[in-house]
Amino acid sequence: GKGLKAKLAKKIPIEREKFLGIRCLHGKKIIGQISVSSVMGGMRGLPLLFCETSSLDKNKGIYYRGKLLKDVCAKLPRVQEGTNEGTPEGCFYLLASGSMPTKKDAKQITKEWLKRGTVPRYCLRLIDSMDKRVHPMAQLCAASACLNPQSKFVEAYSKGAKRADYWKYTYEDSMNLIAMLPTVAAAIYNNVFKDGAGSREVNDEEDWSGNFCRMLGLPEKDFVDLMRLYMILHADHESGNVSAHACHLVGTALSDPFLSFSASMCGLAGPLHGLANQEVLVWLTKLRKAIGDDPSDEELKKFIDDTLKGGQVVPGYGHAVLRDTDPRFVLQNEFAMKHCKDDPGVKLVTRMWKIVPEVLKKLNKVANPYPNVDAHSGVLLQHYCLKELKFYTVLFGVSRALGVLSQLIWSRALGAPIERPKSFSSAEICNFIKVA
Residues that bind ligand FAM (CB under 6 A): 273, 276, 308, 313-320, 360, 365-368, 372-374
To the nearest whole angstrom, how small is the minimum distance from the Cβ of residue 393 to ligand FAM?
10
| 253 and 418 Cβ atoms separated by less than 8 Å | yes
State the residue number with the nearest CB to ligand FAM: 318
Minimum distance, C-beta of residue 183 to ligand FAM, in the bound complex (Å): 26
- CA–CA distance, 159 with 298 (Å, rounded to integer): 68
Select which of 222, 273, 339, 343 is catalytic.
Answer: 273
Specify the residue, 16 or 302, whose C-beta has the smaller distance to ligand FAM. Answer: 302
- Assess whether 234 carries a catalytic annotation: no
Candidates 12, 184, 200, 180; CA nearest to 112 is 180
- Collapse the DSSP code of 54 into the 3-class scheme (helix H, G, I; strand E, B; otherwise coil) and give the result: strand
Query: What minimum distance in Å lies between the beta carbon of 275 and ligand FAM?
Result: 8
- Name the phi and psi angles at 197, rounded to 5: -70, 175
Nearer to ligand FAM, 179 or 275 (CB): 275
Note whether 397 and 141 are within 8 A (CB).
Answer: no
Closer residue to ligand FAM, CB minimum distance, 7 or 400: 400
Q: Exactly one of 234, 237, 248, 319 is catalytic; which is it?
A: 319
Q: Which is nearer to ligand FAM, 210 or 267 (CB)?
A: 267
Strand partners, 68: 63
Helices 374-383 and 221-233, packing angle to 10 deg:
160
Phi, psi for residue 284 in degrees, rounded to 5: -65, -35
Quick one: 253 or 313, whose CB is closer to ligand FAM?
A: 313
Q: How far is the CB of 401 from ligand FAM (least distance, A)?
A: 16
Q: Which is nearer to ligand FAM, 238 or 374 (CB)?
A: 374
Burial of 418 (0-12, 13-18, 19+ CB in 10 A): exposed
* 374 included as an active-site residue: yes
Question: Distance of CA 170 to CAs 114, 118, 150, 231, 334, Å?
Answer: 19, 18, 12, 21, 36
Identify which of residues 90 and 327 has a Cβ nearer to ligand FAM in the complex: 327
Q: How far is the CB of 319 from ligand FAM (least distance, A)?
A: 5
Taking the least distance from each CB to ligand FAM, the nearer of 20 and 367 is 367
What residue type is 175 in one-letter code?
M
Answer yes or no: 383 catalytic.
no
Determine phi and psi for 57, rounding to 5 degrees. Answer: -120, 130
Instruction: State the Cα angle at 56 between 329 and 104, rounded to 5°.
Output: 75
Which residues, 6 or more positions from 114, have their beta carbon under 8 angstroms from its beta carbon?
179, 202, 204, 208, 211
DSSP 369-404: -SB-THHHHHHHHHHTT---GGGHHHHHHHHHHHHH
DSSP state of 260: H
Q: Which one is catalytic: 105, 236, 374, 376? A: 374
Return the sign of the alpha-carbon dihedral for residues 104, 107, 111, 117. Answer: positive
- Active-site annotation, residues: 273, 319, 374
